[in-house]
Structure 1
């Protein structure tokens, strides 16, 4: 019996740790397409950082109701609120962080405090930002903005695509941008899409936006599509089928969702999930 069998190692682990063979993992990151009708996002990171929960939440202190994936218990990584405002964010850099709020709580602030793009712009100008993130926001009127933020500056634009590099705050960019630009170019080629075309583009492995490189912190954790017309979201975790969730049903007292069903091709655990 060899070391691989004795240690119960996978072929990949054996090549890496015993045969000392190195491969270049297929990198990835968060990708977003937004226009006056559509908002779709791939959230890519490591499963250990993922709460594995979706919250329907209606504040009792005057805030706006919303639904979205939870981040770090109290934060939101994307979502849609009762006014039809959708939100997501993409990582940009860790350069010279400042005292301020981090992305996932800013995401919740936007969902609970903002009715439209103007509200969101005002909030993002007012808040102190800890680090470099871009916030992609669309309201029920079809207006959208991509807010490039850092601890030093905030810039708004109306392009339809966002990956993991700044287009306007270029001095804030990381040095390694080739993979982010590659995904940007893939999404930028999308023209006048249907919802089905977007779902296919963001989930097909042969296109280049969806990857399952989870151990390299570069796997697609979830793909989500937000629809302002009926306050709904379609989400899948990893691969598998999409799950349709309705904020409107929740507000009407008809929501009975207890779980979503999806498939993620990894043995790594989510923060709050124990595999059977």
Structure 2
């Protein structure tokens, strides 16, 4: 087992200030240098950007994020086009992953499955002072979010379906950030998902204090919405968009549906996902499908749980108190995974 950790980052201020703050921290972090190694010769061929297209779209949805990227560029002393390539989540390729989600009327519990070396190990609290909702959750590509909750109690997570027949558009992590920063409820999030361009095919699972979980199946061609409490890595409505092999995704879905009907509290629901004995938690790290974190969000209580690795008690964050100005004393969340290498934030 390898010791791993996520750094907890807390910030209140404008998007430009937040970008500069993150950029300064990245100067002493191995995250960006490791990403360059990951991309290698594929960078210019696959990580194609359209700065004008991205700028036009992001200004109409969340202009603050553009200011955040400006701040990152300034701190890192790089050109804006390079910063857009690194941080915009627009037009880029995506490493495939697994992931499983269960949503009750009062909470959402989620396993994020991917490759350890693609995981940034950053858990962020951010309260913008210029525009947009305050958010909590783990990051991807610095500016994007893997899952999370905003100050309105809107919770978001996503699951990979496939990247065949990709098109110009946003990656899942930036879409997740846009949902959390600009949408106040499930209905607004559904409308956004119907409007923005999608790079690949993903399911977006949404929950707000009203307590009705929705799954939005989104591909570059179609978007469909269903009410459901369980989601893994295949579509139900857009069946023609599914991958050829769905056995493991359907297996996890059946286990979650069976086991969650017997749970009587959120911690039991968390254990179904986090305890390997239930066979939902995955150790397939070499296949970019091993569970890296299990998170739980409570939209009414405004709390978040977060655990790294299997069979771990979650760290509990009180987001409501943080919104009221009381910082969390937690600076790092630690865990263990059955893989010889650590996360991208670890030297």
Q: Distance in 1 between matches of 2:136 and 2:224?
A: 27
Normalised by the length of structure 2, the TM-score is 0.69
Between 1:88-97 and 1:196-205, the stretch displaced more is 196-205
Work out which of the residue numbers 335, 338, 341 in structure 2 matches 1:262: 335
Q: Distance in 2 between matches of 1:105 and 1:212?
A: 26
**Who is 1:247 aligned against?**
319
Moved over 6 A (4+): none
Helix, strand or coil for the counterpart of 2:343? Answer: coil
Helix, strand or coil for the counterpart of 1:180? Answer: helix
Q: Distance in 2 between matches of 1:241 and 1:263?
A: 12
1:257 is displaced (CA, Å) by: 2.7
Between 1:246-255 and 1:44-53, the stretch displaced more is 246-255
**Who is 2:346 aligned against?**
273
1:39 aligned onto 2:39: no
1:153 aligned onto 2:226: no
**Who is 1:134 aligned against?**
203
Between 1:229-238 and 1:132-141, the stretch displaced more is 229-238
1:238 aligned onto 2:309: yes
Q: Distance in 1 between matches of 2:219 and 2:135?
A: 26
**Who is 1:110 aligned against?**
179
1:36 is displaced (CA, Å) by: 1.2
Q: Distance in 1 between matches of 2:262 and 2:225?
A: 23
Q: How many residues align?
A: 247
1:37 is displaced (CA, Å) by: 1.4
1:246 is displaced (CA, Å) by: 2.0
Q: Which runs of 5 or more residues in structure 1 are unaligned?
A: 1-27
1:192 is displaced (CA, Å) by: 6.0
Normalised by the length of structure 1, the TM-score is 0.86
**Who is 2:119 aligned against?**
50
Q: Which runs of 5 or more residues in structure 2 are unaligned?
A: 1-96
**Who is 1:168 aligned against?**
237
1:250 is displaced (CA, Å) by: 1.6
Counterparts of residues 214-225 of structure 1 (less than 5 Å): 214-225=285-296
